């Protein structure tokens, strides 16, 4: 097998990021299986045609069900709005297609479990889009932990801070509507933190959270596209049905304590996706706004020169670096998607499930829902109870 034919459903923000990653992958990872950009699919025929041309897809369609019927399509990439994930994934699995699904896997834990059951029953490969795992600096953190170089983990604290909807006149886009988006900051941003915690520290046993919607009504937009929208100030208002911010505390199976915060109301933070881990032998700090860097501390450094090191994860010793530029020449957001797909292609070559996959998607959904339940019931929730 030298190539995988892709049918992609979705063509907005994530569709663009995925397309670019498929497009760049063969150039920088020439030994990888090659993703072939066969068909792009979307509801608006003009827009999807334009996307196909711009992004470099061979064909385009508005009918995803027809797409699933094609024998020449190996993998379905789902990055349509969140409420569409489940139906498409279930059908794709039925059709025997391998699946890459953007996060969140589904709007509910039950749905995500059905999806997992479906892909497992179908025996297809499945992956979920937790792209931040694939920043080389994050992979360095993972390596340090796996090699025991941070010792026993005591603390994981993570925060994903944005400020793009702080203006009360920012319109009521789909991401602010529960029926489409599932949740707000929690599912959009918090989900990434939860997956990062699972990846780096392991499973959680219990959680308790709190959330708030600071701006309770917003102008209904006349038209929506991706993250933005157009609206006139005179336009009618509608209720915001998702959270603007969600925080929670957690305990991990290994005894570590966790603190999580996701908000879209942190002025000055465009996209501060950050975590810190403290272990018995050292600590690491990551901030996605400086995604090429990992701050690293070791307790056994010589006593007069102890301090956090600013490691630029662009050296030969760092993951994926050989594919890119000389040391010190940084990469950006889009590279996390390229690396994700390298993992996906490697899984095909090695005939194994890629990681993270639907199992990780379900686990993330489980914690998201446990936090929601803890907010509703105002008490600690055991993850295993869900």
Q: Which residues inside 91-150 make contact with a copy of itself, applying CB under 8 A?
A: 140, 143-144
Nearer residue to a copy of itself within complex by CB, 167 or 236: 167
- Contact call for residues 368 and 262 (beta carbons, < 8 A): no
* Residue 188 DSSP label: I
Which listed residue (116, 229, 242, 311) binds a copy of itself by CB under 8 A? 311
Does 174 contact a copy of itself by CB under 8 A? no
Query: 206-219 as b/e, with b when 16 or more CB fall inside 10 Å?
Result: bbbbebebebeebb
Q: How far apart are alpha carbons 71 and 279 in whole angstroms?
A: 50
Cβ at position 378, least distance to a copy of itself in Å: 5
Does 30 contact a copy of itself by CB under 8 A? yes
Cβ at position 85, least distance to a copy of itself in Å: 21
Cβ at position 22, least distance to a copy of itself in Å: 11
Q: How far apart are alpha carbons 288 and 273 in whole angstroms?
A: 5
Number of residues this chain uses to bind a copy of itself (CB under 8 A): 96
Does 249 contact a copy of itself by CB under 8 A? yes
Does 46 contact a copy of itself by CB under 8 A? no
Which listed residue (32, 185, 272, 365) binds a copy of itself by CB under 8 A? 272
Does 332 contact a copy of itself by CB under 8 A? yes
Q: Which of 98, 99, 156, 147 is nearest to 286 (CA)?
A: 156
Cβ at position 50, least distance to a copy of itself in Å: 8
Q: Which stretch binds a copy of itself (CB under 8 A): 85-93, 119-127, 318-326, 344-352?
A: 318-326
Nearer residue to a copy of itself within complex by CB, 334 or 346: 334
Which listed residue (271, 346, 373, 386) binds a copy of itself by CB under 8 A? 271
Does 376 contact a copy of itself by CB under 8 A? no
Question: Under rule CB under 8 A, which residues in 201-230 are in contact with a copy of itself?
Answer: 208-210, 212, 214, 227
Q: Tokens for 33?
A: 């299986």
Q: Which of 101, 110, 108, 104 is nearest to 128 (CA)?
A: 101
Phi-psi region of 268 (alpha: psi -120 to 50; beta: other; left: phi over 0): left
Nearer residue to a copy of itself within complex by CB, 62 or 205: 205
- Please give the angle made by the CA atoms of 9, 12 and 13, to the nearest 5 degrees: 120
Question: Under rule CB under 8 A, which residues in 334-373 are in contact with a copy of itself?
Answer: 334-335
- Please give the angle made by the CA atoms of 117, 193 and 119, to the nearest 5 degrees: 15
Q: How far apart are alpha carbons 183 and 105 in whole angstroms?
A: 13
Q: Dmax of the chain from CA atoms?
A: 66
Q: Which of 364, 362, 367, 365 is nearest to 382 (CA)?
A: 367
Strand partners, 209: 248
Nearer residue to a copy of itself within complex by CB, 156 or 358: 156
Which listed residue (269, 364, 365, 367) binds a copy of itself by CB under 8 A? 269
Q: At 282, which helix (H) or strand (E)? A: strand 282-287
Which listed residue (316, 350, 351, 385) binds a copy of itself by CB under 8 A? 316
Q: Tokens for 159?
A: 């925060």
Nearer residue to a copy of itself within complex by CB, 96 or 333: 333
Cβ at position 238, least distance to a copy of itself in Å: 21
Cβ at position 92, least distance to a copy of itself in Å: 26
> Strand 75-78 to strand 245-252: parallel, antiparallel, or no bridges (unpaired)?
unpaired
Site mask for a copy of itself (CB under 8 A), range 291-310, x = bound: xx---xxxx-x-xxxxxxxx
Q: How far apart are alpha carbons 379 and 382 in whole angstroms?
A: 10
Q: Which stretch binds a copy of itself (CB under 8 A): 85-93, 103-111, 229-237, 279-287?
A: 279-287
Q: How far apart are alpha carbons 24 and 34 in whole angstroms?
A: 10
Nearer residue to a copy of itself within complex by CB, 70 or 251: 251
Does 253 contact a copy of itself by CB under 8 A? no
Q: How far apart are alpha carbons 206 and 322 in whole angstroms?
A: 40
Which listed residue (72, 123, 268, 350) binds a copy of itself by CB under 8 A? 268
Residue found under tokens 């990551």? 286
Nearer residue to a copy of itself within complex by CB, 296 or 383: 296
């Amino acid at each position: 097998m030298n190539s995988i034919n892709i049918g992609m459903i979705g063509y907005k923000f994530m569709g663009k990021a995925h397309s670019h990653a498929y497009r760049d992958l063969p150039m920088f990872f020439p030994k990888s299986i090659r993703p072939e950009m066969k068909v792009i699919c979307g509801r608006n025929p003009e827009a999807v045609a334009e996307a196909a041309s711009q992004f470099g897809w061979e064909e385009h369609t508005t009918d995803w069900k027809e797409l699933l019927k094609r024998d020449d399509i190996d993998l379905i990439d789902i990055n349509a709005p969140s409420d569409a994930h489940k139906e498409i994934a279930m059908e794709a699995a039925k059709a025997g297609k391998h699946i890459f699904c953007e996060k969140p896997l589904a709007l509910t834990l039950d749905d995500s479990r059905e999806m997992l059951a479906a892909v497992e029953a179908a025996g297809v490969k499945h992956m979920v889009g937790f792209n931040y795992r694939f920043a080389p600096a994050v992979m360095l953190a993972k390596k340090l932990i796996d090699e025991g170089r941070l010792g026993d983990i005591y603390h994981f604290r993570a925060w994903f801070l944005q400020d793009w909807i702080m203006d009360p006149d920012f319109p009521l886009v789909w991401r602010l509507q529960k029926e489409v988006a599932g949740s707000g900051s929690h599912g959009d941003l918090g989900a990434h933190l939860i997956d990062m915690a699972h990846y780096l520290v392991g499973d959680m046993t219990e959680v308790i959270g709190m959330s708030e919607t600071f701006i309770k009504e917003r102008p209904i937009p006349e038209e929506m596209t991706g993250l933005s929208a157009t609206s006139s100030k005179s336009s009618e208002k509608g209720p915001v049905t998702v959270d603007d911010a969600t925080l929670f505390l957690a305990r991990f199976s290994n005894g570590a304590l966790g603190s999580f915060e996701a908000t879209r109301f942190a002025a000055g933070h465009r996209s501060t996706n950050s975590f810190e881990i403290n272990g018995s032998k050292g600590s690491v700090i990551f901030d996605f706004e400086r995604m090429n860097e990992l701050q690293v501390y070791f307790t056994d450094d010589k006593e007069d020169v102890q301090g956090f090191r600013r490691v630029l994860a662009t050296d030969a010793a760092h993951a994926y670096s050989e594919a890119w530029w000389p040391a010190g020449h940084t990469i950006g957001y889009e590279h996390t998607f390229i690396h994700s797909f390298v993992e996906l292609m490697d899984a095909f070559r090695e005939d194994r499930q890629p990681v993270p996959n639907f199992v990780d998607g379900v686990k993330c959904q489980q914690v998201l829902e446990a936090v929601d339940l803890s907010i509703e019931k105002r008490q600690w929730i055991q993850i295993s109870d869900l």
